[in-house]
Amino acid sequence: MTKRPEDQPATVPLAQQAGEILSRWRWVEPCAWSVRMLTALEQGVKGEKWFRLFDKVFAERNLLAAFQQVARKRGAAGVDHVTTRDLERRFPEALWEVADALKAGTYVPQAIRRAHIPKPGTSETRPLGIPTVRDRMVQAAVVNVIEPIFERDFAEHSYGFRPGRGCKDALRRVDQLLKAGYVHVVDADLKGYFDHAS
């Protein structure tokens, strides 16, 4: 007996599903996350453990995207005095060297260059650690791979250092809470928390 079309369960075409998933995760680097992986992320991974993620960190596409992210920020050179432009001149060999070292487990981050920058509104300065461009590229490559996994479980009303969120979103949330009748605020600041290396 053949089922009539109206008896068939409604299905969403795969292309539409992929489009919906990609729109929800549009900030994710496609060099590290495929639609299939994002689908698994949304549906939950068996045992809540991801396997074989490290090979995505040292994938050439991911390292290149990570380098481009670092270069866009136009940050200073680290202790090796190598700028983003200097490293880019050595491509693709520089990229392959980093990928090979990560793959072999021999990659060692370099020392951090310490700089002191002024604290706004005071005559004080605060220490700033500046990693090398190469190390920032590797850090960005790691973030590209693991951020979506953690992002899925972060608190809805957490705004610091989150993709697509910022101070204005936090202020809008505070405004909503005030309008809803909440009147108490707890403000905590750990003075000098990041000023000293542990």
pLDDT at 71: 95
- Label residue 79 exposed, middle or buried (CB < 10 Å: 0-12, 13-18, 19+): middle
Query: What is the distance between the alpha carbons of residues 29 and 4, in angstroms, rounded to a whole number?
Result: 42
Of the two residues 63 and 23, the one the predictor is more confident about is 63
Model pLDDT, residue 12: 46
With beta carbons less than 8 A apart as the criterion, state whether 131 and 123 touch: no
Rg (CA), the chain: 22
Q: How high is the pLDDT of residue 196?
A: 59
Between 59 and 160, the higher pLDDT residue: 59
Q: pLDDT tens digits for 42-61?
A: 777 777 777 778 889 999 99
As a whole number, mean pLDDT of residues 112-118 equals: 91
User: What's the pTM?
Assistant: 0.75
pLDDT at 10: 47
Taking residue 56's Cβ as centre, other Cβ atoms within 10 Å add up to 21
β-pair type (125-130, 113-118): antiparallel
